[in-house]
Amino acid sequence: MKAYLAMLDARFRGLLQYRSAAIAGIGTQLFFGYVRVMIFAAFYRSSDAAQPMTAEQVVSYIWLSQAFLLLAMFGVESEIAAMIRSGGVAYELTRPVDLYGMWYSRCLAARLAPTLLRAVPQLVLAYAFLGLQAPASVSALGWSLLAILSGAALAGAISAAMTISLLWTISGEGISRLAPAVIFLFSGIIVPLPLFPAWLQPIVQAMPFRGLIDVPFQAYLGLLTGTAALMGIVQTWVWIAVFVMAGRLMLQRGLKQLVAQGG
């Protein structure tokens, strides 16, 4: 455990060296969030029909998803990818820790560190000036915290499985490029999932990606409470188990065919 925490710590300290990049990133994300808020407000002004979410809830949902954007914006983990390409992966095998565990924590750290760095200032600014509501209740806050932690664990597991697939594809360009499009749509970043058409709902609800953004923030707004919130989080953990098992299995297979050259 200590080894894994050390990795997370190293990642944080590395990132903190790029403070100006983070500030620029926050500015850009706030700008995009502001545009999206205005677009959704215009949609709500255009129709009197009852909607599954109020305009105020959508505004909060947008700010929350902008703040945690980097949690859902991922491809393969770049450091491991570089090792797989260069052959440095052989060194990884000599380390006295479980290889999957180590790669998983690298992938998790790669998601968590930049997300936290950007989320906190964005949430504060959005709450103070831009219409982000407070959580619906204390229990809503509790559920959403639990769900966002589960979402982070899921992001790590998906990212690890994608990274391990590089043992076969090497470049990873395909998966790194195409996955974000699917994840964006089905996590709720582009359009909050409750606003999707009714016929799409069963597909959207079954997908793993709603655990990243939609479950935590529906819980925050009090739209998912009690059993429904619990079921959402349980579903996220089922998907975590699936991706971890797939990742472990691929890694096992991949290492069997690994040939380390040189002496």
- The CA-CA-CA angle for residues 126, 213, 75, to 5°, reads 110
DSSP tag of 241: H
Which is closer to other proteins, CB of 87 or CB of 174?
A: 174
- Shortest spacing between CB 133 and other proteins, in angstroms: 20
Which is closer to other proteins, CB of 197 or CB of 262?
A: 197
Alpha carbons 65 and 53: distance in angstroms, whole number: 15
Judged by CB under 8 A, the chain residues 155 through 174 that form the site for other proteins are 171, 173-174
Q: Which residues contact 161 (CB under 8 A, 6 or more apart)?
A: 243, 244, 246, 247, 250
Token digits for 52?
């599954």
- Shortest spacing between CB 40 and other proteins, in angstroms: 8
Asked if 165 and 248 touch (Cβ cutoff 8 Å), the reply is no
Q: Taking CB under 8 A as the rule, does residue 182 contact other proteins?
A: yes
Strand, coil or helix: 105? helix
With CB under 8 A as the rule, give the number of residues binding other proteins: 36
Which is closer to other proteins, CB of 163 or CB of 187?
A: 187
Q: Where do contacts with other proteins occur on this chain (CB under 8 A)?
A: 21, 24-25, 27-28, 31-32, 34-36, 38-39, 42-47, 49, 51, 171, 173-174, 177-178, 180-182, 184-185, 190-191, 195-197, 200
